[in-house]
């Protein structure tokens, strides 16, 4: 699992340029530009988590707090966007302070994670 707190770090992810652009467009859409987006992210302590497999949950650096936030993010999803190729981007508000976590992952992993945490997404 890779966690980003800076929009410009999207280029560090091992994803295609097209997918990077799709994600960046969605992240900056509610704002005037990337700088305003980053300012809101800083104020609200927003993060983007990139997950590639269920084994990301047992990787070094993933602690109980991360797992709790991930479960909350999967349970209380505000929106989901399908991206190409077969990727999902979700947004969840995980704290009363307004902290948002965007989850970027393969579409099949979203279903696996909901099953792993016994979350009914109906």
Domain-embedded: residue 29: yes
How many other β-carbons are positioned within 10 Å of the β-carbon of residue 56? Answer: 18
pLDDT for 38: 96
CA nearest to 4, candidates 39, 45, 47: 47
Domain-embedded: residue 122: no
Section 12-36 average pLDDT:
94
Section 25-42 average pLDDT:
94
Q: How far apart are CA 102 and CA 81, in angstroms?
A: 11
Average pLDDT score, the chain: 92
Section 99-121 average pLDDT:
92
For 75-86, how does the pLDDT look when each residue is reduced to its tens digit (9 = 90+)? 999 999 999 889
Whether the CB-CB separation of 104 and 84 falls below 8 Å is answered with no
Q: How far apart are CA 7 and CA 62, in angstroms?
A: 21
User: 4: which 2 tokens?
Assistant: 């980003």
Domain-embedded: residue 85: yes
Domain-embedded: residue 121: no
pLDDT for 122: 55
Q: How far apart are CA 7 and CA 65, in angstroms?
A: 23
Give percent of the chain above pLDDT 90: 82
How many other β-carbons are positioned within 10 Å of the β-carbon of residue 101? Answer: 22
For 46-105, how does the pLDDT look when each residue is reduced to its tens digit (9 = 90+)? 999 999 999 888 777 778 889 999 999 999 999 999 998 899 999 999 999 999 999 999
How many folded domains does the chain comprise?
1
Confidence of residue 121 (pLDDT cuts 50, 70, 90): low
Domain-embedded: residue 87: yes
User: 76: which 2 tokens?
Assistant: 């209380």
**Domain that residue 19 falls in:** 2-116
């Amino acid at each position: 699992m890779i966690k980003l707190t800076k929009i410009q770090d999207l280029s560090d992810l091992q994803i295609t340029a097209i997918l990077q652009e799709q994600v960046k467009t969605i992240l900056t859409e509610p704002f005037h530009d990337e700088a305003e987006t980053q300012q809101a992210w800083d104020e609200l302590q927003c993060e983007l988590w990139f997950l590639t497999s269920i084994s990301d949950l047992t990787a070094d650096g993933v602690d109980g707090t991360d797992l709790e936030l991930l479960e909350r993010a999967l349970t209380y999803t505000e929106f989901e966007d399908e991206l190409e190729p077969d990727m999902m981007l979700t947004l969840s508000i995980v704290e009363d302070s307004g902290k948002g976590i965007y989850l970027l992952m393969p579409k099949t992993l979203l279903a696996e994670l909901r099953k792993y945490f016994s979350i009914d997404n109906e």
